[in-house]
Structure 1
């Protein structure tokens, strides 16, 4: 997959992993579009980037998604890379009283899974028109080894992983769309501070590994610790679970 002269959409691109991906793609000679729910934060992000357009949009809102897709078809007809990065997560213990786990799970599943299906489905006709195209779904290390304090978030990422596998297999049959899955470990972003993000890797590393993986057509991108934990998971799911959760 070429990594220059693309038109790239990054949801949740105003901060963290999404911002660093946007920055790297913009510096690499791509036209970049980032979305976010907070207009002020989005404007501040765009001001720091070159070749970048910001569109206020909430991926969990169907009306926003419809408006976004309409704008993309009108103003960015060469769109050929979509990076589904926007996410939602809650940190809590399943044993707590009154935590409203089902409500939290509903928000996570909507943003991290169902919203990606909705946006992908609506953008497939545009992507199919391109000579070369890519979809990148940002999941997580917890897609296959869940965290006990992010149980419902982990479940949403596991669902995304299953969907991504099926989407890749299906689109490879009769389209030029390549489907990638980016699986970061703990990353030091505002998004992850509640679960010890200060101890995580830099989002710059995640962005750099994504770009390298696109260039080499490496479809499952297991960044840093994710790769070693994945290998442990293949040999012993129980040991992998303990390795991720012990001490947390």
Structure 2
């Protein structure tokens, strides 16, 4: 699909991978709307972007989700790309009987999976009115294999992956709506600091791959080490 002249909403767009997406897509000639929980961080991010605005709110909260979707469709009805990037991840030791593994898993599943389903439902009617539209779900290399450090995070991203495939199948006969999924490996961001993110790739590399994948209609966009799992798609 086209990579310029779009109006793009990016959840979790005030830092990390989301901000890298915003910078790359803004530089390519798109209008950007970033979302995040912190108004201060959003305003800081806007200073690094051209042709961008922000909608503050927490998409993991139902009331915020409804408000954000309403504001987006009413103030930016030309929005034709939604990037579901906001996420939650916790180190979750399943062998520790004091650790509340289920509570951490609930937060991850709510943010990484259930909230994406509901927000997509809320914005789909507007997207379907566009001549060319896309939903881009940011999953993870963890889709392909969980590990002992992030077992429940991996499970939430695997759920998102399965949902994305189902969404793609649902709209496969609608040539105006494209469903993308991008699979970052470990990325060096504040979000991943607790799990050794300093050893990861720069977020700009993920953004580069996204722009390339969009232009080539590559609906499954593997990044870095994730490319070794291409046979599992």
Q: Is the 8 A contact 1:17 1:204 kept in 2?
A: yes
Q: Is the 8 A contact 2:3 2:214 kept in 1?
A: yes
Query: What CA distance in whole angstroms lies between the structure 2 residues aligned with 1:121 and 1:159?
Result: 17
Equivalent residue, structure 2, for 1:214: 214
RMSD after superposition? 1.1
Encode CA deviations 1:185-213: one digit per residue, 9 max, x unaligned: 00000011111100000100000000000
**Aligned pairs (5 A) from 1:206-245:** 206-231=206-231
User: How many pairs align?
Assistant: 233
Report which of the two has the higher share of helix.
1
Equivalent residue, structure 2, for 1:75: 75
Q: Secondary structure at the match of 1:82?
A: strand
Residue 109 of structure 1 deviates from its aligned partner by: 0.2
1:131 matches 2:123: no
Residue 175 of structure 1 deviates from its aligned partner by: 5.2
Residue 230 of structure 1 deviates from its aligned partner by: 4.5
**Aligned pairs (5 A) from 1:100-119:** 100-119=100-119
Q: Which structure has the larger Rg over C-alpha atoms?
A: 1
Residue 69 of structure 1 deviates from its aligned partner by: 1.3
Residue 45 of structure 1 deviates from its aligned partner by: 0.6
Encode CA deviations 1:183-242: one digit per residue, 9 max, x unaligned: 0000000011111100000100000000000000001111010111444x68xxxxxxxx
After TM superposition, what 4+ stretches of structure 1 lie above 2 angstroms from structure 2? none
Query: What CA distance in whole angstroms lies between the structure 2 residues aligned with 1:78 and 1:52?
Result: 14
Q: Secondary structure at the match of 1:41?
A: helix
Query: What CA distance in whole angstroms lies between the structure 1 residues aligned with 2:190 and 2:13?
Result: 13
TM-score, with normalisation over the residues of structure 1? 0.92
Q: Which runs of no fewer than 5 residues in structure 2 stay unpaired? A: none
Equivalent residue, structure 2, for 1:168: 168
Equivalent residue, structure 2, for 1:183: 183
